[in-house]
């Protein structure tokens, strides 16, 4: 075969390989710390008519990590494409890790007006007020989480140093058992565990994140800025599908199917979720427009500085790019 033919063949094969590589869907490894607060684990199981771009422009691998400190480390190391950041992890990413990150969508907010709230629970005969937690053990899901930061901030506002009490890390699903067995003195109970605690006359709620932060932007999808710039089209496809999922979950006519899907993913009976999930009785607010509340986020990051949890506060809006979410919601609305 003549040299020019070999060159032509090589060029054609290179073009074919390049086209094939470009056609591969973008793999999104997405961290999540708790379900059903964060609905990431539902994505691969969601109805395909909602996730129209799934498997075409992107795929999702949900990755469980209980704390946002872990997710920050994984994002920095290239082990995640999207991390569920809290305000604290956003500030730490910028100030300490020196990462150029972008928040591209809200995942969930807590202590939103009109929605339920969750609390740290205690034994009422042992802890009457927050000051009684001196010398006690407080359970949080992770030190870098919104819950962990809330415990530290509240105790600091009451004049205590961290040496005056003990913080331990406990998985959310083990919080109630740890409290009832008195292995810890205070535990943050998510729904449905707080509903179970309410049936125990020995327990009572003491304070919640709303008492510390007000509205809290508890979970936000964060990615490296360069990744967002390079993969904008696929990320907009992903957010468009997620916007459809959120609307579907909150539509009353889909309630039975949505609860059945949550029960399947969460490996729980449907009755566990039936009376509250995806309603105003749900402590987790999921914005249908995917928008982060910027006033709340700035306040939340300022709280982190006040509590000494980050070296300095940040201008949060410099690290938030809602343009992808806006494009996604506009497209989802056009095809709804």
Mean pLDDT of the chain, nearest integer: 92
Q: Tell me what pLDDT residue 142 has.
A: 85
Whether residue 255 is predicted with pLDDT greater than 70 in this model: the reply is yes
Question: CA-CA distance, 129 to 235, in Å (whole number)?
Answer: 46
Residue of 141, 136, 144 lying closest to 186 (CA atoms): 136
Note the helical H segments in the chain: 3-23, 68-76, 87-95, 146-157, 175-180, 193-197, 209-213, 225-230, 232-250, 255-266, 271-274, 294-306, 323-334
Structural domain count of the chain: 2
Whether residue 5 is predicted with pLDDT greater than 70 in this model: the reply is no
Domain boundary among 212, 229, 258: 212
Q: Tell me what pLDDT residue 174 has.
A: 96
Do 39 and 159 share a domain, yes or no? no
Do 100 and 242 share a domain, yes or no? yes
Rounded percentage of the chain residues whose pLDDT exceeds 70: 93
Q: Could you report how far apart the first and last alpha carbons of the chain are, in Å? A: 56
Do 224 and 207 share a domain, yes or no? no
**Cβ atoms of residues 304 and 149 within 8 Å:** yes
Whether residue 22 is predicted with pLDDT greater than 80 in this model: the reply is no
Residue of 219, 271, 234, 241 lying closest to 37 (CA atoms): 219
Question: CA-CA distance, 291 to 104, in Å (whole number)?
Answer: 9
Domain boundary among 165, 196, 212: 212
Question: CA-CA distance, 251 to 319, in Å (whole number)?
Answer: 32
Question: CA-CA distance, 123 to 204, in Å (whole number)?
Answer: 6
Do 80 and 164 share a domain, yes or no? no
Is 255 part of any domain? no
Q: How confident is the model at residue 278 (pLDDT cuts 50, 70, 90)?
A: very high
Is 254 part of any domain? no
Q: How confident is the model at residue 69 (pLDDT cuts 50, 70, 90)?
A: confident
Question: CA-CA distance, 230 to 52, in Å (whole number)?
Answer: 21
Domain boundary among 212, 235, 262: 212
What range does the domain containing 57 cover?
A: 24-110+216-248+279-334
Report the C-alpha dihedral over residues 213, 214, 215, 221, rounded to 10 degrees: 0
**CATH for 196:** 3.40.190.10
């Amino acid at each position: 075969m003549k040299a020019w033919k070999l060159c032509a063949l090589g060029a054609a094969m290179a073009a074919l390989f390049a086209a094939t590589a470009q056609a591969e869907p973008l793999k999104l490894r997405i961290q999540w710390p708790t379900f059903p607060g964060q609905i990431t684990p539902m994505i691969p199981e969601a109805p395909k008519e909602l996730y129209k771009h799934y498997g075409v422009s992107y795929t999702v691998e949900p990755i469980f990590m209980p704390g946002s400190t872990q997710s920050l480390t994984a994002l920095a190391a290239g082990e995640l494409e999207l991390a569920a950041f809290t305000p604290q992890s956003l500030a730490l990413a910028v100030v300490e890790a020196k990462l150029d990150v972008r928040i591209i969508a809200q995942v969930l907010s807590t202590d939103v007006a009109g929605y339920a709230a969750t609390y740290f629970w205690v034994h009422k005969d042992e802890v009457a007020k927050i000051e009684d937690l001196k010398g006690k053990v407080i359970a949080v899901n992770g030190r870098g989480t919104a819950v962990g930061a809330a415990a530290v901030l509240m105790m600091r506002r009451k004049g205590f140093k961290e040496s005056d009490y003990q913080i331990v890390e406990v998985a959310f699903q083990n919080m109630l058992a740890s409290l009832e067995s008195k292995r810890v003195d205070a535990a943050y109970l998510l729904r449905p565990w707080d509903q179970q605690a309410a049936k125990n006359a020995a327990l009572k709620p003491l304070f919640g994140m709303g008492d510390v932060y007000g509205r809290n932007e508890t979970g936000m999808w964060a990615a490296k800025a360069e990744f967002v710039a390079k993969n904008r089209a696929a990320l907009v496809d992903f957010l468009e599908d997620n916007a459809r999922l959120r609307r579907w979950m909150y539509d009353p006519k889909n309630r039975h199917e949505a609860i059945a899907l949550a029960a399947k993913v969460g490996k729980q009976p449907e009755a566990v979720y039936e009376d509250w999930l995806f309603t105003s009785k749900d402590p987790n607010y999921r914005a249908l427009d995917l928008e982060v509340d910027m006033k709340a986020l700035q306040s939340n990051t300022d709280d982190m500085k006040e509590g000494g949890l980050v070296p300095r506060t940040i201008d949060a809006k410099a690290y938030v790019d809602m343009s992808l979410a806006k494009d996604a919601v506009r497209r989802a609305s056009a095809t709804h």
